[in-house]
Structures are given as C-alpha cells and as structure tokens.
Amino acid sequence: MENLVGVFVLMVLILNGALFVHSGPAVPCTGQSSYPFCSTSLPFGDRVKDLIGRLTLQEKVQQLVNAAGAVPRLGIPAYNWWSEALHGVSNVGPGTRFGGNVPGATSFPQVILTAASFNESLWRAIGQVVSTEARAMYNVGLAGLTYWSPNVNIFRDPRWGRGQETPGEDPVLTGKYASNYVRGLQDTDGSDPNRLKVAACCKHYTAYDVDNWNGVQRYTFDAKVTQQDLEDTFNPPFKSCVLDGNVASVMCSYNKVNGVPTCADKDLLGGTVRGEWQLNGYIVSDCDSVDVLYNAQHYAPTPEDAVADVIKAGLDLDCGSFMGKHTEAAVNAGKVDESLIDQALVNTFTTLMRLGWFDGDPAKQPYGNLGPNDVCTEQHQELALDAARQGIVLLKNDGSLPLAANKISFLAVIGPNANVSKVMIGNYEGIPCKYTTPLQGLLKYTSLLYAQGCTNVACTGNDLFGGALQAASKADATVLIVGGDQSTEAESRDRTSLLLPGQQQQLVSQVANVSKGPVVLVIMSGGPFDISFAKDDDKIAGILWVGYPGQAGGAAIADVIFGQYNPGGRLPVTWYPQDFVKIPMTNMNMRPDPATGYPGRTYRFYTGKTVYMFGDGLSYTNYKHTLVHAPKLVSLPLDDKLSCAHKTSNFSCEAVRITHTNCQNMQMDVHVDVNNIGPRDGSHVIFLFSTPPSKHHAPKKQLLGFHKVHVTSGGRERVRFSVDVCKDLSIVDKAGNRNLPVGSHLLHIGDLQHSISLQITN
C-alpha cells in the first residue's frame, strides 16, 4: 500500500516536469502503518523485537549488508548504510549524493589539519555543522543517516597514505578528537542518549595503518602487535570513542592482528568492543572485509564458515554483499544459529530507531525543518575558514612574517600547489560550496605574479623554473606553495620517501636563492616531509604547514601570511628525517629495540633525530608559563580497593594495579598561568606531558591533556588541568595491564618541569 502511494507521488512530480524536486527519503511507517514496530510510544526493545519477529530468514539475511533490501510487504524500503562525513558531508559512500538544490556541502579541512588546532570545541562545532547539513540533505532524499566517520587509527608511520584522515600520532589527542567529533555528529539538541542526530562510526578497528607499501597490501597484512602496544597505543582512541563519545558504530578493518582477521576476532569485537566497552550500536566490516578474509586471506574453508566466524565474533553488518549471499546457507548448514542473526539485527535496527527512521514522516520529526537552505550557509562556511586558520602551523620565522601588505607592491606566488582547489579538500571529500585557492586568497592582499614552477606535485622537470626564478627576483616577497596531493599520498598509496616529490626541493632552493624579498615556504600535505634543507636555509624566512586546508584554505593561508590571523596550530605528528624510511613500515612496534637499532615510533618512544617534533608550532606573539598549583606528593592507600601489582624483594610495593573497578576519582589539579608577553593577541595550546618512572618500557613522555586559550597581548589566562591519577599517570606493562608506578612522575608544561612523587601508604 505504502509503495503504491510512493509511485503515485513520483508520477505527479514527473508529470509536473518538476525535475530535481525531491519527494523526501523513502522511510517505513508512513501512512496508516499500525505495526507495533512503528509505534513511537513503545520502547525500542519492543519495537525491534516485533519487527524481527515478522521477518523470514531470507528477509533477515538481506538486512545484514550495507545495501539493505526492502521488505515491501511490511512497507520497509531499501536503506543504504554507507555514507561518509570525514570532514563534511561526502558523496564517497553510495548512501549520499549531491544534486538538485544541494549541489555541494561545506568542506572542512582534512582532519590532520583540524586536529592541529588542538581545540576540542572546534571539533565538536564542525561535527554539529556536518550533521545539520547531513540531516538537511536526508530530508530531501539525498543522504543517509549512518556515517562511517571518523578515522581514528594512530598515524604510526609518516608514510601512511591515509594519515591525512586521522588526528595524528597521539592516542590522547586522537581519543579526544574522536569523542568530540562523534558527539558533534550524534548528539541531539536535547542530548537524549537514546536519540541520534546522525550515527557516527569509529574506524578501522584495529592496528590498521599500512595500505600498500613495498608489495604489502592492507587486505592480507598481518599486523604483529604486542599486548602492550595494543593497550596503550592502538586501542585507546576506539575506547574513548565508545566510552566518551558514545559512538553508534565501530568498523573492523581489513588487516589481521596477530594472525586473526579483525572482523573475525571474537576477543576484539565481542570481548573488547561489545563486552568491556559496552558499545551501544553496531559493528560493521570495512568494505568487502568478509569477502577478503575468505577469498584473499583464506581464513575459513568455506564461505559459510567465514560468515559463521564473523557473526560469532560479533559483526552485525557487512559492507559488501558476501553475507547477503552466504548467510542463509550458513544457518541451514547449522554453522551459525539464527538467534545470532537476530542479535545482529537488534543492533542495526535499534540504531535506525534511535535515528527516527521508523517514526514515520521525516518532516514531522526533530530536524524535519532542515532543508537545502541549511547547507553551505555563510556561518558554516565561515567555520570552515576558521578551522583552517586554527590548524595552520608556523614552523619557522626569522621575523619576516607576517608580511606587511602595504610594503609590498607585488608578490611572487610560486609552486605546484599555489592555485589548487580540489587538492585542498583531500580524500573522503564531498563537493564544496565553493573554493578559495591560495592565489585567490593572496590576491585579496596584494598584486601578484604567479608562476607554477612545476605543472604538478610530481614535478618531473625544471622547464618551468625560469619563470618562477624571474618572478621571485623581481617581487618584494615570495610565497612558495608546494607539497603533496592524492597522487603522492592516498588510500592504497603509501609513500616510499619523506622528501618533497620530484624536483620540488630544487625549485624551492633555486627560487630562494634568487628572491629579492623574504621567502615564505608553504607545505600543503597530509603526511610530514623531511624539509631540513629549508629549515637550514637562511634565505627561507618562514615555513608554514597548512595540511589540506579545505574549501576556504587559500583565504586562511593568506590571512596567516599577512597577519590578519595569528597562527596557533601545533604539529599532531613527528616530522622524521628521510633515513626513517629504512625502517620497514610493517614493523608495528611502538617501542625502540636497542638490540636491533630500531628507533621506535612517535614522540612517545622514538629515539632518533627529528626535523620537527610533535607539538611544535610558533606564533606571532610570545607566551610565558607559570606553574601556579601542582602537588609534590600523591599518596595512595593500599586497601580493599587498591592492590599491589609488583612487589620488590623487600616486600615494598612498586606499582598499583588499575582496573576499572578501583582507583577511581582520584583527581590531581595542575594550574598554569599563561602570559601573552608579545605584541599580538593569540590562541595558545598548553600541553601537559608526563615522564613516568622508567619501568616496563614506559613512554619517555606522554600527553596527559591540552587546553587551548585565547590570550590578549599583555593579558594572562589561568588554565586548569584535572589529572585522573589512575587513568592518566598509569602505564601499561608487557601483559597489557595498567599499573600505576611508584616514584617520580615528571610533568612538562612548555619549558616548565615539575616532579610529583607517587607513594603508597599501607
């Protein structure tokens, strides 16, 4: 019946010639549906049970795949679960497209740059805008409600082509990004945890960060991961996403971890995500993961066994078609019980219920008033510009920056990325509202001479260098915009070198050599480069890293160069020297190994030389930190709640065992004053790091927290850190258990250091 009505509406639209008029999304429970699963007055549990009880096995199986089938006899239309919204509503997934009166959506910077802002409220604000635009597009039938974003894998190796999608190399940073972005996407205005604005998904669980390196493919890669690294590096972002973000979904990855495909790993899915973390939502496979584990990894003897393995492990939804083809046979062969299929459907249908998909006419529901006018609003586009400004990192400045527009009659603008548009929005992108290229941004401030120097980032020849050198030799200042793009770093494309591609380095050096005025080098990229040559070149006055800065990136770059905005972004990853590439990308170990010379990874463990460090970033002003308050001594009483983890030979206790049932709510306050002692207002990131006692191969330094504050010139702000003693000061031992070590924990805040003695009283 509902279907006939749908056909009728469509015909009217066509007869009226109303091309591009959307009749709204196809949803169940419209018209006179009186099924209990449509009744908004019943609890979700009852509605879901009623719905599943009406489905045949064949119908159930068609709900286990991303392109979930229609059940016409119950008025349920098809639904595609796969949409993406990494940094703006994207059309990469089949559930969402642009067209008609929504030709594009606000395109924020690629995540690695947004992370560099270290501003939690910005991350949440972006999530809120993206979900508003997604709801608006859903209402006109262009978008889904389930988004497989964000990507919260640790950016473990600088060569990884998908590092650009992540918030960087630190688990605390990544966890905070995840929970804020997810809350921005999901939380409804009333913050009712049973309701979702849209559903987010943290991916790719877990230890997934090799795409295609030296013949090693993500589809067959077996990541050998220690329990220690899993517990203190790879899993924390997912844990934070589930516990703090209350995310509605987790996606398992392509790779194996220690021999087992993640989507078939009962400990990782059923045990950790669903058991320990209590995911309130569904677990989905990466696209064709189930097919991959059968056909490429040969993990199971038959397709039915593969299906049984993943369902028993805790998988609820297959991105792909494999489970749609083989699950019925698996049930009929007795390899998997139908009750497990029902449990998977409970998880997916409950998510759709929380989204209101079974509540009837979308126009009458919360967010039902949103439409095309709520996409690409001026306010949303302003936030995209602000996000780019907040993320940009100033790495070098000899005092020439910011440039004074009134002292420049014309500017030389050079480089393969100097006038790019699509490059600025990275991957998992949508169609932006509009672009401001760097050239267009700079042109707002001054006249300019543009010379590409190289046709593209591959920069295979120097035939265009002449024009660039000529422009630089005449102009009052030179801006070089170089770096990478999706042809050098991307999904399925890891790098093999950390140097600027092709002859870009020669272009930069030669231009710098002949420039009449100061030279500003702008690196547009996701991953880091070894740019030691530029760091050490006195002719290069300033260096900026601008990530892939989104639709308004060019305006943000110009605002920073001309001092309209005072930069305050900080690097979310270590910039390693080129010789780092001699380390196999496939070595997953975070910790160094002195026996083999393996240097370890990320600022927490890496022992080698760096080009730039995690957290680096300059400003046009100067800040001074003063420690106002921090304890010198923290005593933990051993009692029925706290037990000793490691006893020494003289029976004194060396470390307290941390589980989630004890050692809670022990807070330690650290207060810091930040004085802006320079000439400009600015936003400043205060990092609180600690160096734990050096036991169990503990990190040499780890981030406990960060705050971003705006401080006016001459002004002062107080920053308050509340440190959870057990959670934040604990370290993970070899077996993967968290312990709180007795002894000196050294705090670092900028140049300040403060030692806290942790003791146990009996």
Ligand X SMILES: *[C@@H]1O[C@H](CO)[C@@H](O)[C@H](O)[C@H]1NC(C)=O
Distances (CA, A) of 32 to 7, 35, 242, 353, 556: 17, 9, 37, 18, 52
Instruction: Determine the 3-state secondary structure of 277 from DSSP.
Output: coil
Distances (CA, A) of 81 to 153, 223, 251, 352, 641: 22, 28, 12, 10, 44
- 182 touches 127 (CB < 8 A): yes
Q: Which is nearer to ligand X, 652 or 667 (CB)?
A: 652
* Distance between CA atoms of residues 143 and 719, nearest Å: 41
Residue nearest to ligand X as judged by C-beta position: 683
Q: How far is the CB of 437 from ligand X (least distance, A)?
A: 5
Binding segment for ligand X (CB under 6 A), chosen from 56-64, 108-116, 336-344, 708-716, is: 708-716
Q: How far is the CB of 107 from ligand X (least distance, A)?
A: 15
C-alpha 191 chain-centroid distance: 23
Binding segment for ligand X (CB under 6 A), chosen from 17-25, 191-199, 523-531, 645-653, is: 645-653
C-alpha 747 chain-centroid distance: 27
> Within 382-411, which residues bind ligand X (CB under 6 A)?
386
* Distance between CA atoms of residues 304 and 323, nearest Å: 9
Binding segment for ligand X (CB under 6 A), chosen from 61-69, 115-123, 264-272, 522-530, is: 115-123
Instruction: Determine the 3-state secondary structure of 674 from DSSP.
Output: strand
Q: Which is nearer to ligand X, 194 or 712 (CB)?
A: 712
> Within 414-433, which residues bind ligand X (CB under 6 A)?
419, 421
Q: What is the 3-state secondary structure (H, E, C) of 325-386?
A: HHHHHHHHCCCCCHHHHHHHHHHHHHHHHHCCCCCCCHHHCCCCCCCHHHCCCHHHHHHHHH
Distances (CA, A) of 195 to 23, 186, 551: 25, 8, 31
Q: Is 751 exposed, middle or buried (0-12, 13-18, 19+ CB in 10 A)?
A: exposed
| Among the listed residues 577, 550, 493, the one whose alpha carbon sits nearest the alpha carbon of residue 112 | 550
Count, residues near ligand X per rule CB under 6 A: 20
Question: Which two tokens mark 505?
Answer: 């380095």
Instruction: Determine the 3-state secondary structure of 302 from DSSP.
Output: coil
Q: Which is nearer to ligand X, 419 or 675 (CB)?
A: 419
Asked if 537 touches ligand X (CB under 6 A), the answer is no
Asked if 694 touches ligand X (CB under 6 A), the answer is no
* Start-to-end CA span in the chain (Å): 73
Q: How far is the CB of 510 from ligand X (least distance, A)?
A: 4
- Of 139, 478, 683, 739, the one binding ligand X (CB under 6 A) is 683
Helix segments in 231-333, DSSP class H: 236-243, 289-295, 303-313, 322-332
- Of 79, 160, 450, 606, the one binding ligand X (CB under 6 A) is 450
- Of 513, 578, 694, 722, the one binding ligand X (CB under 6 A) is 513
Distances (CA, A) of 219 to 64, 199, 213, 289: 21, 26, 12, 8
Q: Which is nearer to ligand X, 203 or 708 (CB)?
A: 708
- Of 255, 436, 437, 488, the one binding ligand X (CB under 6 A) is 437
Q: Which is nearer to ligand X, 199 or 688 (CB)?
A: 688
Q: Which is nearer to ligand X, 509 or 662 (CB)?
A: 509
Site string for ligand X, 214-253 (x = CB under 6 A): ----------------------------------------
User: Could you confirm whether 286 is annotated as catalytic?
Assistant: yes
Q: Which residues contact 213 (CB under 8 A, 6 or more apart)?
A: 159, 494, 496, 585, 586
Asked if 439 touches ligand X (CB under 6 A), the answer is yes
Sheet holding 623-629, edge to edge: 623-629, 667-676, 716-724
Candidate list 211, 232, 286, 616, residue with the active-site label: 286
Binding segment for ligand X (CB under 6 A), chosen from 15-23, 496-504, 507-515, 720-728, is: 507-515
Q: How far is the CB of 761 from ligand X (least distance, A)?
A: 13
Q: Which is nearer to ligand X, 236 or 615 (CB)?
A: 615
Asked if 332 touches ligand X (CB under 6 A), the answer is no
Q: How far is the CB of 208 from ligand X (least distance, A)?
A: 30
Instruction: Determine the 3-state secondary structure of 723 from DSSP.
Output: strand
Residues in the chain: 762
Q: Which is nearer to ligand X, 432 or 484 (CB)?
A: 432
Return phi, psi of residue 50, to 5°.
-60, -45
- Of 63, 96, 119, 146, the one binding ligand X (CB under 6 A) is 119
CA angle, residues 31, 36, 37, in degrees to nearest 5: 80
- Of 56, 332, 373, 652, the one binding ligand X (CB under 6 A) is 652
Asked if 647 touches ligand X (CB under 6 A), the answer is no
Binding segment for ligand X (CB under 6 A), chosen from 20-28, 54-62, 118-126, 365-373, is: 118-126
Q: How far is the CB of 531 from ligand X (least distance, A)?
A: 15
Q: Which residue has the tokens 């009483």?
A: 637
- Of 650, 661, 665, 761, the one binding ligand X (CB under 6 A) is 650
Q: How far is the CB of 717 from ligand X (least distance, A)?
A: 9
Instruction: Determine the 3-state secondary structure of 301 from DSSP.
Output: coil
- 543 touches 396 (CB < 8 A): yes
Looking at the DSSP bridge assignments, the partners of residue 80 are: 67
Q: How far is the CB of 457 from ligand X (least distance, A)?
A: 16
Q: Which residues contact 47 (CB under 8 A, 6 or more apart)?
A: 36, 37, 38, 39, 353, 358
> Within 125-144, which residues bind ligand X (CB under 6 A)?
125
Asked if 709 touches ligand X (CB under 6 A), the answer is yes
- Of 516, 710, 718, 720, the one binding ligand X (CB under 6 A) is 710
Q: Which is nearer to ligand X, 63 or 437 (CB)?
A: 437
Q: Which is nearer to ligand X, 300 or 742 (CB)?
A: 742
Q: What share of the chain is helix, strand, coil (3-state, %, to 5)?
A: 30, 20, 45
Binding segment for ligand X (CB under 6 A), chosen from 229-237, 328-336, 644-652, 713-721, is: 644-652
| Among the listed residues 91, 31, 28, 15, the one whose alpha carbon sits nearest the alpha carbon of residue 55 | 28
Q: Which is nearer to ligand X, 242 or 508 (CB)?
A: 508
Q: Which is nearer to ligand X, 654 or 724 (CB)?
A: 654
Site string for ligand X, 590-629 (x = CB under 6 A): ----------------------------------------
Asked if 708 touches ligand X (CB under 6 A), the answer is yes
Q: Which is nearer to ligand X, 525 or 683 (CB)?
A: 683
* Distance between CA atoms of residues 549 and 162, nearest Å: 16
Q: How far is the CB of 652 from ligand X (least distance, A)?
A: 4
Which residues are designated catalytic? 286
Residues of this chain that interact with ligand X (CB under 6 A) are 119, 121-122, 125, 386, 419, 421, 437, 439, 450, 509-510, 513, 648, 650, 652, 683, 708-710
